[in-house]
A = this chain, B = another copy of it.
């Protein structure tokens, strides 16, 4: 935004009005950074449209000027995908936060991109409907960001990723064209699925403005347990057994390696006792969401008893109340006390076929210990989805050596034909490593698509593809 900056600002002001074009000192801190404060970069200008037409007007002006545009939202992404480019426009959809319709017959919600996920979840609940998408950042992440990153979370095992819940989509392309298909169909093969292409493209192919999300009937019973197994094989067999015996009602299968279970629960001891004794190889948090509050508890218990009788499960506790359920989830999610002594840290979000998971973990541990003596690497994740998170720490040097650590981890990802970005997006932090998960032919195909849809490369440059 150099010489023509004045003209561009005038054009943007024409579109959204002066009070919705923020410049210089008027740009608040929350527009300048993200949750991990690592990819801080001040945009020259923040624009806050109130409608799809205004987004279109903004993109037309940016396209004419050849100025980069980055959509910003809840700013709780971990890959730096929503950090504006230097000299670029930050496009905030915070004013487009309406829930336009909840259709309880079709079971759909039509929502604007700036609506916060939790608000959408609660709105569904009020209508006795259920938006199964759930992630830790539910209170900040906006629907547009959730779609842009194809967010996953704890219930992918049963209900899939964000892409599985987006029935209709509206986007604005780089040149300002509005492409709208706010339909409610579960089945729709009328032409290429540009919708699926745009989902997960992290604002580099178009700006998501509205969507129709698929809802489900609200489950009426929730069974939660923490169980332990003595081997990875047992954990993998238990997953398949429970998928059969719980008949599709298994909604979470969160695997925690024994050492991480010890460490997490150790730091939580002042708040809650350990639900199960340490010393087992694996701990698994199980959730079954059902529709028969009277009979579901007995069925869940029967399935776990069968797993204990067969020897797959060696220890188990079933939550008997909401409070106990929250206590079991805390083992997996209450990171703060653990991280207090485990920072700085680097986190990874990788995936692979379940069959390759033990090899991946063993090989990663071996290579990391060799390359970074004294480091600590903790493994946990959504094992039911082949998705692992890793927390890595090696004292104060951690951040300085991040790229070296990345390289070691991603080499092992490549060796198991896995993904360097399972559910947390590529953003800037993983863009240079995309070739560890994608062949040259794939990258070339992605570039062809990028060139076709955003020929001037103004949409979120530097993200996903370098």
Give a binary string over A197-224; 1 marks a CB under 8 Å from any B CB, 0 the rest.
1011100010000000000111110000
In the bound assembly, the distance between CA atoms of A466 and B3 in angstroms comes to 44
Q: Is the CB of A247 within 8 A of B245?
A: no
Which residue in B177, B186, B201, B382 is a CB contact (below 8 Å) of A192?
Answer: B201
- On whether A434 and B189 interact (CB within 8 A), knowing A353-B106, A444-B177, the answer reads no
Nearest chain B CB to A312 CB, angstrom units? 14
Q: Is there contact, CB below 8 Å, between A187 and B387? A: yes
Q: Does A2 contact B (CB under 8 A)?
A: no
Inter-subunit contact B193/A219 (CB<8 Å): no
Q: With a 10 A CB-CB cut-off, give which of A156, A158, A183, A289 has the most chain B CB atoms.
A: A183
Chain A 409-421: CB-based contact to B (< 8 A → 1; otherwise 0):
0000000011111
Check A187–B355 contact: CB distance below 8 A. Answer: no
Q: Per-position contact with B for A179-197: 1 when CB-CB < 8 Å, else 0?
A: 1111111111111111011
> How many identical subunits does the complex contain?
2
The chain B residue with its CB closest to the CB of A200 is B189
The answer to whether A355 touches B292, judged by C-beta atoms less than 8 angstroms apart, is: no
Asked if A180 meets B441 with Cβ closer than 8 Å, knowing A152-B187, A191-B464, the reply is yes
- Cβ A439 vs Cβ B181 within 8 A: yes
Q: A160-B160, A184-B386 are in contact. List 4 more A-B contacts (CB 8 A).
A: A173-B445, A184-B355, A245-B292, A247-B247
The A103-145 residues at the B interface (CB cut-off 8 A) are: 103-108
A184 neighbours in B (Cβ, 8 Å): 352-356, 386, 417
Instruction: Chain B residues near A161: list those with CB within 8 A.
Output: 187
Cβ contacts under 8 Å, A216 to chain B: 243
Q: Flag if B249 contacts A248 (CB, 8 Å).
A: yes
A186 to chain B minimum Cβ distance, whole angstroms, is 4
Q: List 5 A-B contacts (CB under 8 A).
A: A182-B417, A186-B387, A190-B419, A196-B196, A219-B244
Complex CA–CA separation, A95 to B291 (angstroms):
47
Question: Does A448 sit at the interface, judged by CB under 8 A?
Answer: yes
Interchain CA distance A296-B295 in the complex, whole Å: 12
- Partner of A205 from the list B108, B192, B417 (CB cut-off 8 Å) is B192
* Stretch in A25-33, A262-270, A449-457 with 4+ CB within 8 Å of B: A449-457
- Encode contact with B along A340-384: 1 for CB under 8 Å, 0 otherwise: 000000000001111110000000000000000000000000100
Count, chain A residues at interface, CB 8 A: 102
Which of B164, B188, B451 sits near A164, CB closer than 8 Å? B164
The answer to whether A34 has its CB under 8 Å from any CB of chain B is no
Quick check: is A254 within 8 A (CB to CB) of the other chain?
A: no
> Which of chain B's residues has its CB closest to A306's CB?
B292
A412 to chain B, nearest CB (A): 15
Q: Are A186 and B156 neighbours in the complex by a CB distance under 8 Å?
A: yes
How far, in angstroms, from A160 to B165 measured CA to CA in the complex?
11
Q: What are the residues of chain B within 8 A of A399 when measuring CB–CB?
A: none
B contact residues around A157 at 8 Å (CB): 186
Residue A443 at the chain B interface, CB threshold 8 Å: yes
The answer to whether A194 and B446 have CB atoms under 8 Å apart is yes
The verdict on A240 contacting chain B, using a C-beta distance below 8 Å, is: yes
The reply to whether the CB of A385 lies closer than 8 angstroms to some CB of chain B is yes
Scan A374-407; emit 1 where CB is below 8 A from any B CB, else 0.
Answer: 0000000010011100000000000000000000
Any B CB within 8 A of the CB of A246: yes
Query: By CB atoms of chain B within 10 A, which of A157, A354, A387, A423 has the most?
Result: A354
